[in-house]
């Protein structure tokens, strides 16, 4: 699809990609082993996680010079939207090891949650053409999101969500502790919008779908990774 040409067509493309994720856990923690300043705890609980993704492409073109039957000033606006949401519910097992040396405390944490993920991706596309003196016409389907893959697509499946964390703490006073840590998360079998984009086109709106009926919705899944640093200040009463 031609978006812009220096001789007869002005055009632009804007792409929006957004990702937001959160996780919450409720767990029971119990001492498994203790020796002087060292200890190991096990935990069992419930884990919830959600992942929201959005991928949108807005394309606008305007003919500056007439091209055949296309009049100068004619415009074409194409919009594609892939919005996804994944939710995880599952049981969690884990272990935390702590080792204290003077004012310093080191902690290693390993958790794994097993459960189910529901993935949902909503696909929508539209094309608006405007001809000077003749008004506008709107068609279902853009470029990446057409009638062959549009709609709401839902998939359920088993997933695993492991978490690895390390933390180093320093006791400023017997009651006040400063800490810094690193966390790594993984989430298997999530359905993300960008993975559902089919770049094989068998028609362009407003053309009717052909026998090939592309683009299609592939129901592809992948593993989501997240990592980050954490800083904390704790006060013991």
Strand, helix or coil at 194? helix
CA separation for the pair 27, 12 (Å, rounded): 51
Determine contact, residues 154/120, Cβ cutoff 8 Å.
Answer: yes
**Sequential pLDDT tens for the chain (237 residues):** 889 999 999 999 999 999 999 999 999 999 999 988 899 999 999 999 999 999 999 999 999 999 999 999 999 999 999 999 999 999 999 999 999 998 999 999 999 999 999 999 999 999 999 999 999 999 999 999 999 999 999 999 999 999 999 999 999 998 999 999 999 999 999 999 999 999 988 888 778 888 889 999 999 999 999 999 999 999 988
CA separation for the pair 136, 138 (Å, rounded): 7
- Give the pair of three-digit tokens for residue 207: 């053309």
pTM, to two decimals: 0.87
């Amino acid at each position: 699809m031609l978006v812009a040409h220096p001789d007869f067509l002005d055009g632009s493309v804007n792409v929006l990609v957004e990702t937001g994720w959160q996780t919450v856990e409720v767990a029971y923690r119990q001492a498994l082993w203790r020796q002087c300043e060292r200890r190991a705890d096990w935990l069992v609980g419930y884990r919830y996680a959600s992942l929201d993704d959005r991928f949108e492409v807005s394309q606008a073109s305007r003919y500056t010079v007439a091209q055949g039957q296309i009049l100068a000033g004619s415009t074409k606006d194409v919009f594609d939207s892939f919005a996804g949401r994944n939710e995880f519910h599952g049981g969690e097992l884990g272990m935390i090891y702590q080792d204290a040396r003077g004012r310093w405390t080191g902690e290693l944490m390993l958790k794994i949650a097993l459960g189910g993920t529901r993935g949902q991706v909503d696909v929508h596309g539209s094309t608006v053409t405007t001809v000077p003196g003749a008004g506008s016409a709107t068609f279902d389907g853009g470029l990446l999101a057409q009638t062959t893959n549009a709609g709401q697509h839902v998939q359920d499946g088993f997933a695993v969500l492991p978490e690895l964390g390390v933390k180093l703490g320093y006791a400023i006073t017997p009651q006040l502790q400063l800490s810094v840590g690193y966390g790594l998360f993984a989430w298997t079998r999530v359905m993300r919008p960008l993975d559902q984009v089919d770049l094989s086109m068998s028609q362009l709106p407003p053309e009717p779908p052909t026998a090939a009926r592309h683009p299609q919705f592939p129901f592809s899944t992948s593993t989501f990774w997240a990592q980050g640093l954490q800083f904390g200040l704790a006060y013991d009463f």
